[in-house]
């Protein structure tokens, strides 16, 4: 592990970050597994050339950007290191989010819009065509062809704006934040491979239509990347101005291309059958995921009472009929305390997806019952009482 982390550090230090993004500055970063955290480039690190090593704790979950000791810190899980190239690219991606923070980026999306994004056949059909057209615009070599494809793309997106309302803002903002981060990731990956092959690997994801609807948030990475590549072609100085813009990438390119008028468009009927198939696929996938969680053979515990989600992974949440499955982890505020649940957890809500009245957990060990409290192994203590029905348990929270 220490050899792997040092190799990543050495590659970062030798890289020309200006080739990835002009002015790109590194924040602190940490590489971790389930035992240890290796922290680099942080003010609390005593030696510049060596990481600060300490035991893992619940602050280090997922690949993301956190505030560690009040300093923006990119974190990457290297529990299963995989390829050096892949880990290096992901680390650059998260470090770019740190750079966005240093540059006071404010165009972050409301993640709750993504969780509640509507599933509509018409939107799927328009989105399939939109992503196909966007890929064609990126690949077009002639300026006129590129412009015509871009104009078609804008028309399709404006049609979807009429259909979705503010939900479309979620896509536009994810593209604006994650598109440049994926652009930086692609550039980092390409620096270790033949550039054209590496770039094609990232561009191809625009045409993974099933994945685009199964994983909305991540699908906006590739469309955001495509907008970055189009801006590279049409307005080469855009990166120097990126942090000083208030508009989304989509609105910026639309304005600069002089495409503010909605030209109108109709659904491509050839794609409507495919959209219906994908709509059914997404519905079934969501229900299957929820059902798979519910079919657990061990102890099934339902915690009942008011609670609130305070930290979650929006890319790995499944929302069906007022049930929200956190597939990997969630931090819940319960009885004025915060609990990291580092396993799948299903919440039931009435209105806000953040406010739950039930939380279901699958356990391999039975909770320990004490006087007036219940201990859930690996999670913590709760004030309340247990009602047992075989392996189905209900924890009634005390007021």
- Residues 96-106, mean pLDDT to the nearest whole number: 96
Same domain, 258 and 116: yes
Euclidean distance between CA atoms 312 and 331, whole angstroms: 6
Q: Tokens standing for 128?
A: 């399939």
Same domain, 245 and 312: no
262: confidence class by pLDDT, cuts 50, 70, 90: low
Same domain, 95 and 126: no
Nearest Cα residue to 38 out of 26, 51, 55: 51
Q: Considering its fold, how many domains does the chain have in total?
A: 3
pLDDT tens-place string over residues 281-311? 999 999 999 999 999 999 999 999 999 999 9
- Output the pLDDT for position 256: 76
Whether the predicted pLDDT of 266 surpasses 60: no
For residue 39, give its domain range: 2-102
Residue 203 maps to a domain? yes
Q: Calculate the alpha carbon distances from 342 to 171, 230, 246, 276, 361 in Å.
A: 28, 40, 36, 36, 11
Whether the predicted pLDDT of 205 surpasses 80: yes
Same domain, 97 and 115: no
pLDDT tens-place string over residues 137-184? 999 999 899 999 999 999 999 999 999 999 999 999 999 999 999 999
- Output the pLDDT for position 264: 52
Euclidean distance between CA atoms 113 and 164, whole angstroms: 11
Half-sphere exposure of 83 (CA within 13 A, CB side): 7
The answer to whether the CB of 43 falls within 8 A of the CB of 116 is no
Same domain, 191 and 319: no
Residue where a domain terminates, one of 252, 269, 286: 269
Same domain, 24 and 121: no
- Output the pLDDT for position 129: 96
- Output the pLDDT for position 194: 73
Residue 288 maps to a domain? no
State the sign of the Cα–Cα–Cα–Cα dihedral 331, 336, 337, 341: negative
- Residues 238-264, mean pLDDT to the nearest whole number: 82
Instruction: Give the list of residues 6+ apart from residue 193 with CB closer than 8 angstroms, or none.
Output: 85
For a pLDDT cut of 90, what percent of the chain falls above it?
78
Residue 300 maps to a domain? yes
Residue carrying structure tokens 């409507």:
272
| Enclosing H/E stretch for 210 | helix 209-214
- Output the pLDDT for position 267: 54
Q: Tokens standing for 121?
A: 């056949």
Whether the predicted pLDDT of 100 surpasses 90: yes
268: confidence class by pLDDT, cuts 50, 70, 90: low
68: confidence class by pLDDT, cuts 50, 70, 90: very high
75: confidence class by pLDDT, cuts 50, 70, 90: very high
DSSP string, 146-188: HHHHHHHHHHHHHHHHHHHTTHHHHHHHHHHHHHHHHHHHHHH
- Output the pLDDT for position 316: 87
The answer to whether the CB of 387 falls within 8 A of the CB of 394 is yes
Same domain, 98 and 153: no
Euclidean distance between CA atoms 282 and 96, whole angstroms: 31
Same domain, 259 and 131: yes
Residue where a domain terminates, one of 269, 288, 304: 269
- Output the pLDDT for position 260: 59
Nearest Cα residue to 227 out of 210, 209, 247, 213: 247
Residue 277 maps to a domain? no
Average predicted confidence (pLDDT) for the chain: 92
Q: Tokens standing for 43?
A: 């003010």
pLDDT tens-place string over residues 23-65? 999 999 999 999 999 999 999 997 777 899 999 998 998 899 9
364: confidence class by pLDDT, cuts 50, 70, 90: very high
Q: Tokens standing for 83?
A: 């390829």
- Residues 262-270, mean pLDDT to the nearest whole number: 57
Euclidean distance between CA atoms 132 and 209, whole angstroms: 9
Residue where a domain terminates, one of 42, 77, 102: 102
Residue 285 maps to a domain? no
Same domain, 19 and 70: yes
186: confidence class by pLDDT, cuts 50, 70, 90: very high
Euclidean distance between CA atoms 100 and 24, whole angstroms: 9
313: confidence class by pLDDT, cuts 50, 70, 90: confident
- Output the pLDDT for position 24: 97
112: confidence class by pLDDT, cuts 50, 70, 90: confident
Euclidean distance between CA atoms 229 and 249, whole angstroms: 11
Q: CB burial class (10 A; 0-12, 13-18, 19+) of residue 396?
A: middle
Whether the predicted pLDDT of 196 surpasses 80: no
- Residues 191-199, mean pLDDT to the nearest whole number: 80
Whether the predicted pLDDT of 263 surpasses 70: no
Same domain, 123 and 262: yes
126: confidence class by pLDDT, cuts 50, 70, 90: very high
């Amino acid at each position: 592990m220490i050899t792997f982390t040092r190799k990543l550090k050495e590659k970062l230090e030798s890289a020309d970050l200006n080739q990835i993004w002009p002015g790109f500055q590194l924040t602190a970063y940490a590489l971790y597994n389930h035992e240890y955290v290796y922290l680099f480039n942080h003010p609390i690190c005593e030696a510049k050339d060596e990481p600060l090593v300490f035991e893992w704790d619940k602050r280090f979950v997922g690949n993301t950007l956190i505030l560690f000791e009040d300093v923006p810190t990119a974190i990457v899980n290297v529990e299963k290191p995989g390829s050096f190239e892949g880990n290096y690219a992901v680390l650059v991606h998260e470090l770019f989010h740190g750079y966005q923070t240093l540059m006071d980026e404010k165009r972050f999306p409301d993640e709750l819009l993504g969780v509640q994004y509507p599933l509509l056949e018409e939107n799927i059909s328009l989105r399939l065509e939109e992503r196909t057209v966007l890929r064609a615009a990126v690949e077009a070599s002639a300026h006129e062809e590129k412009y015509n494809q871009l104009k078609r793309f804008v028309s399709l997106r404006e049609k979807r704006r009429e259909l979705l309302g503010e939900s479309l803002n979620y896509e536009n903002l994810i593209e604006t934040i994650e598109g440049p981060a994926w652009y930086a990731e692609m550039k980092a990956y390409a620096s270790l491979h033949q550039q054209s092959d590496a770039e094609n690997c990232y561009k191809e994801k625009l045409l993974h239509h099933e994945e685009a609807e199964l994983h909305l948030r991540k699908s906006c990475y590739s469309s955001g990347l495509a907008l970055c590549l189009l801006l590279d072609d049409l307005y080469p100085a855009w990166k120097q101005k990126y942090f000083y813009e208030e508009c989304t990438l989509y609105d910026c390119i639309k304005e600069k291309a002089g495409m503010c008028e909605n030209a109108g468009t109709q659904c491509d009927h050839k794609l409507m059958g495919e959209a219906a198939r994908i709509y059914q696929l997404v519905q079934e996938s969501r229900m299957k995921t929820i059902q798979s969680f519910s079919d657990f053979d061990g102890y099934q515990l339902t915690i009942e009472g008011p609670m609130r989600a305070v930290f979650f992974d929006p890319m790995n949440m499944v929302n069906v009929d007022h049930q929200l499955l956190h597939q990997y982890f969630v931090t819940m505020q319960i009885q004025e305390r915060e609990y990291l649940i580092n396993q799948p957890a299903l919440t039931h809500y009435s209105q806000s997806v953040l406010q739950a009245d039930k939380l279901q957990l699958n356990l391999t060990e039975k909770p320990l019952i004490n006087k007036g409290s219940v201990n859930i192994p690996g999670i913590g203590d709760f004030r309340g009482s247990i009602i047992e029905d075989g392996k189905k348990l209900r924890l009634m929270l005390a007021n």
